Structure 1
Amino acid sequence: MTAENEREIYHKLEAMKEIRNKTITLERLKRSILTEVRSGDAESRCLAQYKREMELLQQEKMSHVEELRQIHADINAMETVIKQTEESMSRKLSAASRLHEDYRPLKAEVDLLRRQCLGLERLPELHEEEGSPVTPDRFPALSAPAARPVPFLAPAPVRKPPPPPPAFRSALDQDFLTVSLRQQPPPMKSCLSCHQQIHRNAPICPLCKAKSRSRNPKKPKKK
C-alpha cells in the first residue's frame, strides 16, 4: 500500500468520525426541536382554553355589571319613592293636626250644649270610637281633656273665720315653736383632717374617715 493510499484512507476515517459526531449532534437537535414543538402545541391548546375561559369571565362580568346597574337604578327609584311618600305623609299629618285644632273647640262646645240644654253625655273622643286609627298619643292635645268654656259666676263674699280661743292659740304657738326648733340645723364642727363641716358629736369624719377630736374635750369629773 502506497503512502498516497494510506493518506486517503486516513482522510476517509477522519471524515467518517466527523460525520458521526455531527450526526449525533443533529439527532439531539432534532429531538429537542420535536420536544419543543410538542410542548408548544400543548401550551397553544392550553392558551386557547384560557382565552375561552377569559371570554366566559368577561361575559359573566358584564352580566353582573348589568345586574349592578339595574340594582342601582332600583335603589335610586326606591329612594325617590320613599322621599315622596315621606313628604306626602308629613303633609297629611300636618293637615290632620290643623283640622284637629278646629275640631277640639267645636267638640267642646257641642258637648257643653248637649249637657246644658239636653242633659246628654259628651260625644266620644276620636280615639274612643270603634275602629278609629287615632290613638291617644297621635295628637298632643288628646292626652289632656279639651278645655270647656265655664259660665261666669259672681265670686261669693269671703268671710273671715273667728279668732281662735287663747288656749288654742297657745297650743298653736307651742307647736310652731317645736317645729321651728326641729328645723334648726344640727350643731356642726370642722374636721381637723379635711376641714369639712361634720356633726359635732361624730366620732369619725364620714368624708375622710379620720378620727374626730373635739377642740374642747370634756374634763373628767373629780370624785
Structure 2
Amino acid sequence: MRGPRPFADRAQAGAALAGRLAASADRPRTVVLALPRGGVPVAAPIAEALGAPLDVLVVRKLGLPRQPELAMGALAGLGGEVVEVLHDPVLRAARVRGPELDGVRAAELAELRRREAAFRRDLPALAVTGRTVVVVDDGAATGSTVRAAVAALRRRAPERVVVALPVCPPDTAAALAREADELVCLRVPSGFQAVGLEYVDFEPPRDADVAALLRAARARLPDEADSGQNGGGAS
C-alpha cells in the first residue's frame, strides 16, 4: 500500500499543520517559534493562520570534541540570553574535560549569534514567559534539536509548549510527546527514512529568505514588535 504523497514544499506542510493547530488560535498569548532555517517556511503559514507573532529559536548542538555527531548538549538562543542544556551521561562516559567543553561551547555560541543576527536582523526577540509557545520544524529524525529547544523553553516558564511537525518516526514522536505539553505531527510513518524524502522541494531556504519571512510576519502584527524588549523571553 502506497503512503501519502510527499508535501510539495515546506509552505504546504505548514498550511496543513495550521489546520490542526486551530485550537491555539483561541489563545491570545500564543507565539510561534521556528527552528531555522527549514522550520521558518513551515511556521510562517501557521503564525498567519493563528494570528500569532513569529520568531526563530536557534539551537546549536554541542558535539563531542572527537565525535562531533554525538551531542553532549545544546545551546538555545532565547531573546538576549542563551540557555545551555547538557547531557551529563554523555559527558561522563566520554570524560570530557572542562577546557574541551569550553572550546566547543565558544565555537557554537559564536555560530548561534551569527545566525540570530542573520535571521532576526534588527527585530527584537519575542518573550515566551507565561505564553503558549508553538515550536515548529520541517520534520524530525532523532528529535534531539527539538528536544533541546523544549528543554530550554521550560527554563523560561511558558504556560504551554506545543511541538508541531509535518513528519517524524514513531519513536521520536513518543519521546517528544513525553516532553512537550502537546505534539501535533501530521505523519508518523513506521518506515521513516529521512525528512527530505517527505518533500518534493526540500531546497534549504537562504538566510535572506528566513529574514524576509520573519519581517513579513511582524509587519502583520506590529504591536508584537516590542514584546521582547521587556525580557527577551526571560523574567
Query: Same-fold call, TM > 0.5?
Result: no
TM-score, with length taken from structure 1: 0.18
Higher RCO by CA contacts (8 Å cutoff, separation 6 or greater): 2
Radius of gyration: which is bigger? 1
Structure with more strand by fraction: 2
Q: Which structure has more helix as a fraction of its residues?
A: 1
TM-score by length of 2: 0.17
